[in-house]
Amino acid sequence: MRFRGNEGIKHVTTPYVAFADSDIVLHPDTIPLLLKHFNDRSVALAGPRVLGWDHGKGMNWIERYEEARSSLDLGIFPATVRPRSPVSGLPGAFLLARTEALGDGFAAGSRVGEDVDLVWRMVEQGWRVRFEPQAKVWHEHRQSIREWLSRKAFYGTSAHALSLRHPEAIAPAVFAPWSVAVVAVLLCQRKWSLPAAGAIAACAAWGISKKLGRSTHPVQIAASLTARGALAAQTQTMALLVRHWWPLAITGSLFSRRLRRALAMACVVDAVWEYHRTRPQLGSFRFAIARRLDDLAYGTGVWSSALRGRSLRCLLPDVRKNPN
């Protein structure tokens, strides 16, 4: 909860203010690196990379997983933060803000997701928000499986409240209509599925090439965009099956052999991809187990918030002609 932060804002007389969790450890360069972004008068908020603190003891498998796949670690690339982008929010573990841009501060009464809500409100008001990975802070990872799963589920419970405040930004996946058709025919797992998916993608590429007009190499550009869109659709579908929609996917798999195959493939492909992408100091089997537990816990939190709020909006993907 950030109510103490809101109380503190009332007494701030400086141009900038920092918010930090009690377990955060800063590098001496953290704040100077973040302050550089405020030379741009349109920047309202900046956040560092949040890493796990090395307490000098041997790490257990949960800590090793978190070191590679923490919910708070946004990666190594700087980014402009905005909804529906690779970096769509900032963790509230540590934030540096322009005081005049804060307004009323964090949403009153929020227990979780107040950091994301603040970022999205600032973006909606025309401000810019930046993620700076060269600036680093450290915090304590959860060490027991009970605390870890509880925290993951807690993060998921922010979904419903965010869907009420920012309905256009909360969708767990965003598809173009043609990519939905590609996913649907592939999930059918019939002999005609691959040819049909190829035909749909070809039609989509043709339509995109026509919109490119006099661009250089419109066919090649359209083919590349379509291929990337199809891959993104497959990746998002796998994420839905194993994370946001897992109660439906598991229930459906009890009655459908095709859905069982799709779910099993999603579990394996996602784990293998993330293992090779993150290169954790953890065996592949334990990483795969941790990855699935992470998704199950987060999805449980999402469903819990949706059922309490009597709305499934936070679970519905967005289908639009221009998904960007």
Per-residue pLDDT 10s for the chain (324 aa) are: 455 667 778 788 899 999 999 889 999 999 999 999 999 999 999 999 999 887 666 788 999 999 999 999 999 999 999 999 999 999 999 999 999 999 878 877 777 889 999 999 999 999 999 999 999 999 988 889 999 999 999 999 999 999 999 998 999 999 999 999 999 999 999 999 999 999 999 999 999 999 887 778 889 999 999 999 999 999 999 999 999 999 999 999 999 999 999 999 999 999 999 999 999 999 999 999 999 999 999 999 999 999 999 999 999 999 987 765
Do 270 and 291 meet the contact criterion of CB atoms below 8 Å apart? yes
Strands 79-80 and 128-139: what pairing? antiparallel
Torsion of CA 31, 37, 43, 46, to 10 degrees: -40
Global pTM reads 0.91
What is the Cα gyration radius of the chain?
A: 21
Instruction: Give residue 124's Cα distance to chain centre.
Output: 19
Region of 3 on the Ramachandran plot (φ > 0 left; ψ -120 to 50 alpha; else beta): alpha
Domains and CATH numbers, the chain: 3-143 (3.90.550.10), 174-319 (no CATH)
H/E stretch holding 194 reads: helix 193-211
Which amino acid makes up residue 260?
Answer: R
Do 71 and 301 meet the contact criterion of CB atoms below 8 Å apart? no
Measured distance CA(226)–CA(294) in Å, rounded: 31
pLDDT value of residue 324: 58
Measured distance CA(197)–CA(276) in Å, rounded: 28
Measured distance CA(90)–CA(137) in Å, rounded: 13
Widest Cα–Cα separation across the chain: 68
pLDDT value of residue 1: 47
Q: Coil, strand, or helix at residue 27?
A: coil
CA-based angle 196:274:249, to the nearest 5?
55
Measured distance CA(29)–CA(210) in Å, rounded: 50
Measured distance CA(4)–CA(25) in Å, rounded: 19
